[in-house]
Amino acid sequence: MTANAQAQNDNWSEEAYAASASFVYSAKIVGKLLNSLDPKPTDKVLDVGCGDGKFTANFLPAIGSVLGIDSSASMIESANKDYASPKANFRVVDCRYLEKETSIVDGSWDKVISNAALHWILRDETTRMSTLRAIHGCLKLGGTYVFEMGGHGNVAEVKTALLYALVQQGISIEKARDTSPWFFPSDTWMRSALEEVGFNVENVELEYRPTKLTTDAEGGLKGWIRLMGAQFLEALPEDNRDAVVKEICDVLQTVVTRGEDGSQWLGYVRLRGIAKKI
Ligand SMILES: C[S@@+](CC[C@H](N)C(=O)[O-])C[C@H]1O[C@@H](n2cnc3c(N)ncnc32)[C@H](O)[C@@H]1O
């Protein structure tokens, strides 16, 4: 099959992302990743799965130039509208097929960074290793790859509820698992995959980081499930999706809500790493 034939629906939009998941790119949440990036004014940086550019904007003032790449045309349009400049470019690239982008995979980048995107990009088992190999190929000798993504056990409560909701709707557990858009690897898997493609791994770590959901009317738990779980919901007839989302929110109500103030939290588990091309 060609890259085109495997194209995915573009479920992303700047508005839905801001309403349901603005914490993903907030300076507070990405602080450790940005420390690992250690940005320098001469750095030429590739941002893999850059989204709408709001994460990129955190380090843009401190570097020489950046190219952000993402498979969502809608997110790239927003990034170009808000942040394009002589030192910042954004392009639609499906990073499952990054190795085909010979103008990017050219050994010229000082640093590659990726936040909250690799668990989507590496979901497809058939392109997982070629994507990591291409990231390695992007870097100069001595270049650094830093990333943060969902790790083993990430948002386990929502993933369980989504899988079970599909099974309740008559979908087989095998098909429900196939529908999942996420790959949440362990630190052990990630370290060995990075080494296999030639990286010298300085650090890979898992961190349990409970994360507070937004209180935006269009966001919260419902908005998060609609945006992040879109591929699960696509397995259901359209006229049934609202009812299923409501059911999932009801099931999760006491699991994610804190008694003292009613705030809702998901069990994020982050996998962070630093690897060098030597
Ligand atoms: C949760 S967002 C993170 C965006 C940004 N890095 C940030 O921190 O705000 C995940 C992003 O991964 C992108 N993505 C998913 N699959 C992809 C693929 N195959 N190639 C490139 N980007 C992909 C989505 O389009 C989306 O913008």
94 lines ligand 1 (CB under 6 A): yes
pLDDT digits (tens, 9 = 90+) for 205-250: 999 999 999 999 999 999 999 999 999 999 999 999 999 999 999 9
- Ligand 1 nearest atom to the CA of residue 21, by list position: 1
Does the pLDDT of residue 5 top 60, yes or no? no
Res 7: pLDDT = 67
The more confidently predicted of residues 3 and 127 is: 127
CA 184 to ligand 1 center in whole angstroms: 15
Residue type, 223: G
Q: What distance in Å separates the CA atoms of residue 273 and residue 145, rounded to the nearest whole number?
A: 8
Q: Where does the pLDDT of residue 9 fall: very low under 50, low under 70, confident under 90, or very high at 90 and above?
A: confident
Name the DSSP class of 254: H
Our mutation pick for probing the ligand 1 site, out of 9, 71, 80, counting the most ligand atoms within 8 A of Cβ, is: 71
Q: What distance in Å separates the CA atoms of residue 86 and residue 30, rounded to the nearest whole number?
A: 25
Q: Where does the pLDDT of residue 259 fall: very low under 50, low under 70, confident under 90, or very high at 90 and above?
A: very high
Q: Where does the pLDDT of residue 271 fall: very low under 50, low under 70, confident under 90, or very high at 90 and above?
A: very high
Q: Where does the pLDDT of residue 4 fall: very low under 50, low under 70, confident under 90, or very high at 90 and above?
A: very low
Q: What is the mean pLDDT of the chain?
A: 96
Q: Where does the pLDDT of residue 2 fall: very low under 50, low under 70, confident under 90, or very high at 90 and above?
A: very low
96 lines ligand 1 (CB under 6 A): yes
State both tokens at 53: 């550019």
Q: Where does the pLDDT of residue 202 fall: very low under 50, low under 70, confident under 90, or very high at 90 and above?
A: very high
Q: What distance in Å separates the CA atoms of residue 95 and residue 118, rounded to the nearest whole number?
A: 9
pLDDT digits (tens, 9 = 90+) for 112-150: 999 999 999 999 999 999 999 999 999 999 999 999 999
CA 120 to ligand 1 center in whole angstroms: 7
Does the pLDDT of residue 1 top 70, yes or no? no
Contacts 24+ apart (CB under 8 A), 69-74: 69/93, 69/95, 69/98, 69/101, 69/104, 70/95, 70/117, 71/8, 71/10, 71/95, 71/96, 72/10, 72/12, 73/10, 74/10, 74/12, 74/13, 74/14
pLDDT, mean of residues 184-201: 98
Q: Where does the pLDDT of residue 6 fall: very low under 50, low under 70, confident under 90, or very high at 90 and above?
A: low
CA 52 to ligand 1 center in whole angstroms: 9
75 lines ligand 1 (CB under 6 A): yes
Nearest in space to 214 (alpha carbons), one of 81, 16, 43, 27: 16
pLDDT digits (tens, 9 = 90+) for 55-84: 999 999 999 999 999 999 999 999 999 999
pLDDT, mean of residues 169-183: 97
Res 8: pLDDT = 79
What share of the chain in percent tops pLDDT 70?
A: 97
Res 198: pLDDT = 98
pTM: 0.96
Architecture of domain 14-277 in this structure: 3-Layer(aba) Sandwich (3.40)
Parse the chain into domains and list their residue ranges. Answer: 14-277
- Ligand 1 nearest atom to the CA of residue 116, by list position: 3
24 lines ligand 1 (CB under 6 A): yes
3-state secondary structure of 146: strand
78 lines ligand 1 (CB under 6 A): no
